[in-house]
Structure 1
Amino acid sequence: MGEHERPVVAYLGPEASYTHQAALSTFPNKETTTLSPRTTIADVFSAVQNRSAHRGVVPFENSSNGSVVFTLDLIANLHGMHPDVLVCGEAYVAVKHCLLGHAAGIPSTQKEGEVRIDPQFTNPLAIPKSDLSRVKKLYSHPQAWGQCKAFLATYLKGVPRHDVDSTSRAAEIVAADKTGESAALSSLAAADVFGLDVLAESINDRKGNTTRFLVIRHASSPPLPSPSLSLPTPNPPTPWKSLITFTLNHTAPGSLAQCLSAFSSHGLSLTSINTRPSGVENWHYVFFVECGGRKEDGEGEGDVNRALGELGGVARTWRWLGSWESRL
């Protein structure tokens, strides 16, 4: 990177995606950072791995629909493509899904009293602002379908769904279809960017729907040159988190319990556990553990370091994937 070049932050695009909003909240200074949209989550990882981007921002988990498996698999480096990528931060973005498209020009015949309210959801179903009978195709990121089940089952049941790389890409596709037969699950920001009508607003099942994003870096990447590129550190300091993966010998009784006890024996609270197929053999898994605390530079220093030392004695393989300050 040249002396006067601004650090590049890659994110899952296009513009107006929820990941773009996370990137803007984390790196708000346009004078010192260049935000660069990428087509897929894998593209963001590749940009950080080959150092064409100084940082990357990727979706990690949603409060109502769980983990983003694409990101988990890439973090685990199952295919050996991103061995030097580490997590160095996080961001939270409130998700308010909308149904976007080209309005048919016909007001909705649905009356408020006719809207079915499913009591299991904390967010009542939104009332369509225009007739949805023309909608024949739906586009969105796979994660969004599970966050809008009630609305889709009520108003768009049976309409074919097409997975795309991001909710903003879905809006971009729908913007090009002037027939009004396509609609996207996306954001209000995307409606403005791509010139779409809001056919229904706030259609996610639950209020408070939030997605957590991870900030990733190359293992050899130096600190950002300006404090304005990172979130301020509150006083007193916020807690730290660490992410670790490990595999174990599934034939050894109690092997998982032994691995997890490496954290509890050093007073580390586990905040999440995920698994993904390892790709090594059938029914063999990679475990993802997020715990409190940070890995220190010195060998054997700190609770996380000591836990990793103990983990190394009982796990088949393990890898530290980064430590960062909590933004929850």
Structure 2
Amino acid sequence: MSEENRPIVAFLGPQGSYTHQATLDAFNHSDYVISPQVTIEDVFTAVQSGDAYRGVIPFENSSNGSVVFTLDLFADLHGKYPDILVCGESYVAVKHCLLGHAPSSETASTTFPAAVSPARPIADISNVKRLYSHPQAWGQCKEFLNTYLKHAERNDVSSTSKAAELVAQDKSGESAALSSIIAADMFDLDVLAKTINDRVENTTRFLVIRRKDSSTPPESIPSSPKSSATTATNGEQRNWKTLITFTVDQANPGALAHCLSAFEKYGLNLTSINTRPSGVENWNYVFFVELKGRKEEEGEEGKVNGALGELGRVCRGYRWLGSWENRLTAA
């Protein structure tokens, strides 16, 4: 298939980012045009406008929690993305490395302070004064940074691969990036330390988004190993996830409890709850609820549909943000 006839998949770039890895995991490169974007909002805009068939965005890290930039875009306080729905997910093991220009090929001396985490520098990093990375990475590498680079200035950039790109331009050796080992190869950087994240099992979950009027998710998005399960006796498909946002009248005692009871009434397992400022007034919030289950088509019955009907009667307003197959094998 020629490039001009292939659907476009937008992702948080540049190439070499963890989002790029998630995109290649979810989409066959030969069937799609993989298009890097500068920001997460650029991905939302490309999908909302129809310029991209799908988008891939970071959503949550196992050790550092939700990506608030993504939550705020889903909250959509200004109504810019009314047609965005989640239709898939991808998990990528995150193994941050410290990348830069090593002063020599010699390995690090043994005079470093005792490390709290297993990671130790493998090159001299005493000259590093500036660090670059995506904001989410700082909280994932606290022990290493506090042990070896507490003095270094931290600079937020749009992605870990962008950080590597910037450091590659500084030949002085005073800059370093928290990025992937793939980025080291892409930008010809030295690996100054490997696997510096606090938790070895550190994993980031990425979501695949689409417009609500686009076709169903492509077959190239692999399903979970459990996805072959048959539908439940109540007609709902097992091993699916659903994301919902809602707001409540916070002046009404018990308002949130009433909303959550709608899910309990239908036996739905809530797997996460997040909040972000509503933009309506100070200390008023949008609630994000992720649950196990699938919203059925209009006119069809199901637990999620029933819970949404109940929720609509007790909340100020809600929005269904999509249902998709679970790809987490342990869940």
Q: TM-score, normalised by structure 1?
A: 0.93
* Residue type at the aligned position of 1:40: T
1:299, 1:305 within 8 Å by CA — same for their partners in 2? no
**In the TM superposition, what are the counterparts of 1:35-114 in structure 2 within 5 Å?**
35-105=34-104, 107-111=106-110
1:26 corresponds to which residue?
26
SS for the counterpart of 1:301 is coil
Pick from 214, 221, 224 the counterpart of residue 230 of structure 1. 221
Moved over 4 A (4+): none
Q: Deviations 1:80-117 (Å, cap 9, x if unpaired)?
A: 111110001111000000000011116355328x6524
1:173 corresponds to which residue?
166
Give the percent of matched residue pairs that are identical in Structure 1 and Structure 2.
63
2:296 corresponds to which residue?
296
Q: CA deviation at 1:79?
A: 1.9
2:204 corresponds to which residue?
211
2:194 corresponds to which residue?
201
SS for the counterpart of 2:147 is helix
* Residue type at the aligned position of 1:285: Y
1:249 corresponds to which residue?
249
**Structure 2: stretches of 5+ with no match in the other structure:** 231-237
**Structure 1: stretches of 5+ with no match in the other structure:** 119-123
**Cα distance in 1 between the residues matched to 2:66 and 2:3:** 38
Q: Deviations 1:4-59 (Å, cap 9, x if unpaired)?
A: 610110000000100000000000x2221111000000000000000100000000
* Residue type at the aligned position of 2:101: H
**Cα distance in 2 between the residues matched to 1:307 and 1:92:** 28
1:125, 1:150 within 8 Å by CA — same for their partners in 2? no
CA gap of 1:271–1:8, structure 2 versus 1, over 3 A, is same
2:223, 2:326 within 8 Å by CA — same for their partners in 1? no
2:83, 2:211 within 8 Å by CA — same for their partners in 1? yes
* Residue type at the aligned position of 2:193: A
Q: Deviations 1:111-134 (Å, cap 9, x if unpaired)?
A: 28x65243xxxxx33121111111
Q: CA deviation at 1:235?
A: 2.4
* Residue type at the aligned position of 2:29: K
**In the TM superposition, what are the counterparts of 1:122-137 in structure 2 within 5 Å?**
124-137=117-130
Q: CA deviation at 1:221?
A: 0.6
**Cα distance in 2 between the residues matched to 1:125 and 1:137:** 23
1:106, 1:131 within 8 Å by CA — same for their partners in 2? no
1:7, 1:34 within 8 Å by CA — same for their partners in 2? yes
Pick from 177, 181, 190 the counterpart of residue 184 of structure 1. 177
Q: CA deviation at 1:253?
A: 0.7
1:259 corresponds to which residue?
259
Q: CA deviation at 1:298?
A: 2.8
1:121 corresponds to which residue?
none
Q: TM-score, normalised by structure 2?
A: 0.92
SS for the counterpart of 2:82 is coil
* Residue type at the aligned position of 2:205: R
1:140 is aligned to 2:138: no
Aligned residues: 318
Q: CA deviation at 1:76?
A: 1.2
1:151 is aligned to 2:150: no
SS for the counterpart of 1:327 is coil
1:167, 1:187 within 8 Å by CA — same for their partners in 2? yes
Q: CA deviation at 1:232?
A: 4.0
1:45, 1:56 within 8 Å by CA — same for their partners in 2? yes
1:300, 1:306 within 8 Å by CA — same for their partners in 2? no
SS for the counterpart of 1:313 is helix
CA RMSD of aligned residues (A): 1.7
